[in-house]
A and B are shown apart, each in its own frame.
Chain A
Amino acid sequence: MPYLVPETVSEALVLLRDRRPVVVAGCTDVLPTRRQGDRTDDILDVTGLSDLRGITGGPQGWRIGAATTWAEIAAAPLPPAFDALRQAAAEVGAIQIQNAGTVAGNLCNASPAADGVPPLLVLEAEVELASAAGRRRLALSDFITGVRRTARAADELVVALHLPQPPTDAGGAFVKLGTRSSLVISIAMVAAVVRVAGGRIAAARLAVGACSPVARRLPAWEAALEGRSLDAVAGLRPDPAHLAGLAPIDDVRATAAYRTEAVRDLCRRAVMRAVASATGGSDAR
């Protein structure tokens, strides 16, 4: 049961190919699920890989290292379109979790209630995977394939997320609904990015988490929002038809029926706040 701490990505990839260890980063999902008497496989800790850390941006877009923590994202000087991501970063668990938990860890854990997924979906993130055999990129929506399932092969490592440079007139927001104020698994959450032009919504992207096995975009509602006057957004709630693809369940946190209704209003609030983010205004709840 060695604890492997590679110093370079290539070292890590060889270890992955040859020993198939459990990849860990912040360990905020791995350790809570450990049960009395569980045997642990080899552990590969990737947080020491400098290639997996940090946030860089340029005209070609943004790169977020896989092992970047939520606290680092929350504090990063990102454009307003990334507000959904930064706001989500500040709501993942609490500060103890945000200081340790990483963005790629959140994706690889593939919980339906992962707070990081909806913002990254609306930011059209791509996941860069590396193995000893080479590298590939997948759209985030193709990367997470189900509850606790991803497209990552056992010899692959998520090294980074890539996000296109958003337009300067875009803003974002993240709205989380839980039963208490912090340290709470979401009942539902909505991330939004909107572009605003000429007093209208030029484009909108929304994604909903905790209401389907994998968080999902809402293409029908995104299309319906396009061209709507900003004066009307406070009253814009999707109809059930716009929520096609969501499949909420009953669990200890809420009922499916409640989730569906709540999401309609969370969408409204997320768009209002994203508009405020885009226009430099305040959060007009």
Chain B
Amino acid sequence: MRDEANAGTTRFTLNGAAVAVSAPADERLSDSLRERLGAREVKIGCNAGDCGACSVLVDGAVVCSCLTPTRKAEGRRVETVAGLVATDPVAQALAQRFQDHGAAQCGFCTPGMVTASVALLRQDPAPDEAAITRALGGVLCRCTGYRKIIDAVASVPPALAGAGAAGHAGAAIRRLDGAPKLDGSEAFGDDVAPPDTLEILVIRSPFPRAGFRFGDLDGWLAGQAGMAAVLTAADVPGRNVFGVIPAFADQPAFAEDVARFRGEAVAAVVGTPETIRGFDPATFPVTWQELPPVMTPAEAEASGAPLLHEGRAGNLMCKGFVACGDAGAALAAADVTVEARFTSGFVEHAYIEPEAGFARVVDGRVEIHACTQAPVMDLESMEILLGMDRSRIRIVPTAVGGGFGSKLDISLQPYLALGAIKTGRPVRMAYSRTESMQSTTKRHPSDIRLRLGATRDGILKGCDFQGTFNTGAYASWGPTVANRVPVHASGPYRIADYRAEARAIHTNCPPAGAFRGFGVPQAAIALESLIDELAGKLGLDPLELRLRNALENGVPTVCGQVFSQGVGIRACLKALRPAWEAERAAAEAFNRDATGPLRRGVGVASGWYGCGNTSLPNPSTIKAGIRADGAIVLHQGAMDIGQGANTVITQIFATALGVPVAGIGLIGPDTDLTPDAGKTSASRQTFVSGNAARLCGAALRAEVLRAVNASDQALLSVADGAITVDDGASRHRIALGPLAADGDGYVFAASGHYDPPTKPLDENGQGEPYAQFGYAAQLAVAEVDTRLGTVRLLRLVAAHDVGLAVNPMLVEGQIQGGVAQGIGMALMEEYIPGRTENLHDYLIPTIGDIPPIEPIIIEEADAHGPYGAKGLGEHVLIPTAPAILNAIAHACGVRMTSVPVTPAKLATALAGD
């Protein structure tokens, strides 16, 4: 028998090399691989076998390394994605196909996906979709919607621009940052700290609302071997408050005296990895006094309810309001009206990468390396919390394993900075899945009452929207949700008489913040459901009813904004017509012949989304230069969280400069090196930072052309330390070596700055909130099991107006990924504090839940967008849930008004209870 003592050595082969590790008996193979053997390509998303990111092959069989004690590897052959892609021809070919299809977006699940796929392909070189679905059902992806992954594994031919193409705006090219996502070298938040760095663990409130008092922290710390520091609010040198909207900033890094939600941080401990690993937070010297919480807006608004924040009477954080015409009179005069109440719960972003990072103090400056969507906003928050001048803070974003809105807010950055400052040593931390789910922002639960009227011939007449949003314990992006919802709740329709009010109410729930759509998806469920109800009452085709009311160029929105160009909703709706007619007929035929419990239905819904901040400045700056050796360097500060900014911004810049994408090197994002390109949010990067990149490229081009007095028609090529300018018949050669370089080392340099033109909204929400909108319409085909209440989706068709698809492959990936999140919101996702704090009780779609999703790209060019491009990131999701609800109603006649439509809810509704 091998009776292995605590420090026993386990020997195995890792990617073909013999290795030996001494690890505690209960250590997970994932931890040994990452921390003892440097195999950081193995990703940890849940430590519970729920996500599959940590998948490795053990003797050729795929397992979760987080569920494998290291000791089990004794004598085995362990393979990770890095080894597979380095040496295995099957994996190498697959990695190429992943890049050709854009099957890796953020790349965090990719090691697990590739590993599980290799196990399949070794057995079955030509798997069908069922085999792929079965083989990959244990790896969650939150970005792609899985369809590109299926295409890559199944060797579907890709639709890429030809080799040698310049890769300019409009070309489907591979992600420029794709290769590291496939070979395992991409460094995410938890991948950058050296081994043996001090670690931080946060002490969190176990109650939604509680008073607390610390014991003798100094005395306690003195008795803790291996513990370097305790952090509390007392250690915050600046103001202990942060928030993404300065006027509403209300969240402490560490709670003081009272915790306002379950999972709120009250303190943190910093210690050696071994100490932190063995530390039981229940032993921390804090005593709690549990207080009665308010968990819903109804409780929070009840008279006598405890106030979460002084000065916010009734726990009302803020309201948003838009009105035009006279909604009440129009509804009274309408030939038909419909009304209903719609509800939705918290939705968790569930990016597969939990928040993680590393910090150190370098020459008196604090450096924070962490995953983020908004490096400059992080810097601004840290400036306040640390009471330090911003020149002494550097934010170096790591690769981001998905964000979807929640990584806009700071999370662990204060603890990292405070830990590094207090100990004087580098520190790291990674949230557990449960910490991530408990403490970071969520989609707002909604409670919406909507009345909608129409004339007999199907012209919308009167709309009254009342939305209450549970904004949780702190403001986060709640004000944005409250402002955006009334602007968007009309959908992309002409409604002359409109009134919409949204209210954000504090509760003792986790902060609700930004999540793909900022409340608009919830509002779209209400509106698009009632449009179908109107169609039913009027006896009109639902698609036709939408077309009759769709906005057009020159027609005012409910904010009174009139776009003379670029309104693409009609084109989106029309693009669905062939599928609509065929699928409606097929579903009706299916149902006519059905004898069993299955019924099919087809639903449609629209969406729109204003790109960028609502009536607020929203600038981006991009700079670039050409070095004496001819290298073209783009300082790209727009965070790529998987959506593709690194690629798209470069494509736009290259187009403007007039050189191939392949010749451009990227720097950043890094607040020391890249100018502020704003946050990755609000579908703004392609539009706003893309415009900055276009202006930067054009300015750099102008610099070069000016040097030789060439015309703007000239062709540039950069090679061998010189720029060649071909201007008609004349050729100029600019030798770069002799030119003087600036402080950045550039002989030519330029920057571009863009801020979209908007105008303020008045007290009735009238104005010009956005310079452009993106438009969308989607069609869902659903099969309802009328006995069990289960819904199986058969097909999604998604038409999206993106103005110009800068990279059609990435556009398709955004569409499919957004649709998948919409499917989750419609059918399975609801975060319940205290109950669904993991990825087996909180369910997101697996690969088998996502039907074929057919993107239709509409390009109704926008005058403000770079080369006509519009934002896309949010409207990919907005129509999905209502299209599914409409399909369910068409299938079985039941109008669901509460998401998620779980089997139990739908079966209950079908039974007429």
Chain A interface residues (CB < 8 Å from chain B): 1-8, 11, 24, 26-28, 31-32, 34, 36-40, 42-43, 45, 47, 71, 90, 93-97, 99-100, 177, 179-185, 187, 252-255, 257-258, 261-262, 265-266, 285
Contacts and interface: CB of A to CB of B under 8 A. Distances in A.
Nearest to A32: B48
Of A38, A39, A40, chain B has the most CB atoms within 10 Å of the CB of: A40
A3 B62 contact: no
A261 B841 contact: no
B25 A1 contact: yes
B190 to A, nearest CB: 16
Given A36-B201, A100-B67, A254-B902, A177 B790 contact: yes
A266 B907 CA distance: 14
B280 interface: yes
A39 to B, nearest CB: 8
A96 B49 contact: yes
Interface range on chain B (Cβ under 8 Å from partner): 35 or more
Given A28-B67, A99-B63, A2 B26 contact: no
A31 to B, nearest CB: 5
Contact of B137 (A42, A99, A182, A262): A182
Contacts of B24: 1
B848 A181 contact: yes
Which 9 pairs show the lowest CB-CB distances between chains A and B? A94-B138, A37-B280, A181-B848, A182-B137, A3-B25, A258-B904, A32-B48, A254-B904, A40-B26
B787 interface: yes
B789 interface: yes
B63 A100 contact: yes
Interface in B31-71: 47-50, 52, 55, 61-64, 66-69, 71
Query: Chain A interface secondary structure, helix, strand, loop or mixed?
Result: loop
A94 B137 contact: yes
Contacts of A26: 67
B729 interface: no
Contacts of A42: 25
A95 B1 contact: no
Contacts of B225: none
A262 B2 contact: no
A257 B907 CA distance: 10
Interface string B130-151: 0001110111100000000000
Contacts of A47: 72
12 contacts: A3-B4, A27-B72, A36-B432, A95-B119, A96-B49, A97-B67, A100-B67, A181-B846, A187-B903, A253-B902, A254-B904, A258-B903
Contacts of B283: 37
Contacts of B50: 32, 183
B69 A94 contact: no
A36 B4 contact: no
Contacts, number: 183
Given A27-B69, A36-B280, A183-B137, A4 B3 contact: yes
Contacts of A95: 62, 116, 119, 134-135, 137-138
B458 to A, nearest CB: 37
Contacts of A34: 26
B25 A97 contact: no
A97 B138 contact: yes
B466 interface: no
B432 to A, nearest CB: 7
Contacts of A11: 1
Contacts of B62: 95-96, 99
A179 B279 contact: no
Contacts of A94: 52, 137-139, 846
B740 interface: no
Interface in B833-852: 835-836, 840-841, 843, 845-849
Query: Chain B interface secondary structure, helix, strand, loop or mixed?
Result: loop
Contact of B841 (A8, A252, A254, A258): A252
B5 A2 contact: yes
A182 B280 contact: no
B911 interface: yes
Contact of B840 (A177, A185, A265): A185
Contacts of B66: 31
Contacts of A177: 788, 790, 903
Contacts of A185: 840-841
A45 B1 CA distance: 11
Given A5-B2, A183-B137, A43 B843 contact: no
Contacts of B49: 28, 31-32, 93, 96-97
Contacts of A31: 28, 47-49, 66-67, 69
Given A96-B64, A179-B843, 20 more contacts: A1-B25, A3-B71, A4-B1, A7-B1, A31-B28, A31-B47, A31-B67, A32-B49, A38-B280, A94-B137, A96-B55, A97-B49, A180-B846, A180-B849, A183-B846, A187-B904, A254-B903, A254-B904, A261-B907, A262-B788
Interface in B590-640: 596-597
B279 A37 contact: yes
Interface string B15-29: 000000000111010
A3 B8 contact: yes
Given A45-B69, A261-B907, A96 B138 contact: yes
A19 B69 CA distance: 20
B282 interface: yes
B788 to A, nearest CB: 5
A262 B907 contact: yes
B23 to A, nearest CB: 9
A255 B67 CA distance: 31
Contacts of B849: 180-181
Contacts of B69: 3, 24, 27, 31, 43, 45
Of A2, A11, A96, A181, chain B has the most CB atoms within 10 Å of the CB of: A96
B828 interface: yes
A4 B904 CA distance: 45
Contacts of B135: 95
A258 B278 contact: no
Interface string B504-521: 000000000000000000
A236 to B, nearest CB: 13
Interface string B93-132: 0000000000000000000000010010000000000000
B6 interface: yes
A28 B72 CA distance: 13
A4 to B, nearest CB: 6
Contacts of B64: 28, 96-97, 100
A51 B322 CA distance: 73
B25 A27 contact: no
A32 B67 contact: yes
Contacts of B596: 285
B52 A96 contact: yes
Of B49, B55, B64, B66, chain A has the most CB atoms within 10 Å of the CB of: B49
B26 A5 contact: no
A262 B840 CA distance: 21
Contacts of B116: 95-96
Contacts of B911: 261
B832 A252 contact: yes
A245 B203 CA distance: 44
B281 interface: yes
A179 B828 contact: yes
A179 B72 CA distance: 33
Nearest to A14: B1
Interface in B780-828: 787-790, 827-828
B908 interface: yes
A92 to B, nearest CB: 11
B279 A184 contact: no
Contact of A180 (B2, B138, B843): B843
Contact of A99 (B4, B61, B904): B61
Contacts of B134: 90, 95, 182
Given A5-B71, A36-B432, A182 B846 contact: yes
B847 A182 contact: yes
B3 A182 contact: no
